Structure 1
């Protein structure tokens, strides 16, 4: 993937150990910086297998966002993904097409410019086209583990965005919130739901993405996350055109 720019921001692939370390520090700040812990890095064994994407503010070169990508040749390899630690993805093993897992997507807490997410999606559009990807997937994280903070969001996911039965992830993690069952009587307030929806998940949903029927309670990362999938062929043409326009 070539470098890209949009507005104040540049996007590039991590090219050194220093680049990866910067991404790991931003991940720590984004996921755990409010826990009063000393500055450190968020890292795991998957880092060595992934392509890491950095988005920097052009004027000062400050890292404002990052994510990583793991490309799979098909559903038969999905057990190698990070998500497979937390979800039973047996049904997706039958997916016949190239897949990319998007992981550890995070924004610097001081930066909320929507151009950052647009640039990230432009990069994903380019990767999808260059490598003939059929599905994007990953874990979309809500900050914190208090389920009551996100009941409108989860109720909306239950009403409108559950995975099709042929791909539906099953329970694997020991601590989960079965929101599709617990909130079946709740009517979502769309405004409140979208106000707390993570930016990446919001984008997935606008393009036809779907989620698991339960959230995993990840106390180590201090998040609630849902498995999220997006079949490229199902993206509305107008949305696909916007993604490709962002890719330049």
Structure 2
């Protein structure tokens, strides 16, 4: 059985050893779910009901055809559609309901644990840039995850988020999940920048470099064995130099 494919084009993006394209069939989706399960430390492939609603981007190593990265995308027409998103299960997003403009939720971003090439992340963002430009997307958002549920390992990272990267008050997500870590209210430490960046997840680090912001609390997700923060990025706020770099990769 084939997947429901998008009504718009996203030609495959090849850069160096890697190619990004949409999943084309159930076999592709199963490969992505298997990689996600491995990255999340699950005994089975990772799958949920949102897989049927999303587009799935796959990045393969052309030398071996190995799937080295995957993520899924949910395209929304505006803030009024946020109730359909994965993030809405964990965050009260009423403040964003009035956002005017197309939005994309980026989720389940995974890189194969045996691959450490920074070009993989560049190709992933290059593919995302093509979609954002073609579809006129004005905001990216999602849940950025830290591995494990113990907060002590990430106190400098959370202190950095509090000091520099909290959401603007007009967009700030509110508490919805039953178990959270209120880092913005609880932490009083000055962050060690080096420790903060070493423990910051790569995807979140990239969001922040582009001007992204986060919720004032982290959700403790014991089912996925992660801590995550709601992350938003307004496309119009990305620094011009960063946009230029992204579009250079997107070609």
Alignment gaps of 5+ in structure 2: 1-9
Cα deviation for residue 6 of structure 1 reads 1.5
Distance in 1 separating the partners of 2:146 and 2:241:
28
Partner Cα distance (1:72, 1:62) in 2: 31
TM-score (norm 1): 0.97
Tell me which residue corresponds to 1:75.
79
The count of aligned residue pairs is 242
Alignment of 1:53-202 (within 5 A): 53-183=57-187, 185-202=188-205
Query: Normalising by structure 2, what TM-score?
Result: 0.95
Shift of 1:7: 1.7
Mapped to 1, the partners of 2:142 and 2:229 lie a distance apart of: 8
Q: Which stretches of structure 1, 4 residues or more, deviate above 2 A after TM superposition?
A: none
Match in the other structure for 2:211: 208
1:149 to partner: Cα distance: 0.6
Match of 2:20 in 1: 11
The two structures, once aligned, show a CA RMSD in angstroms of 0.6
Unpaired runs of 5+ residues, structure 1, are none
Cα distance between partner residues in 1 of 2:142 and 2:15: 25
Identify the residue that residue 27 of structure 1 maps to in structure 2.
36
Once residues 15 and 38 of structure 2 are traced to their aligned partners in structure 1, the CA distance between those partners, rounded to angstroms, is 24
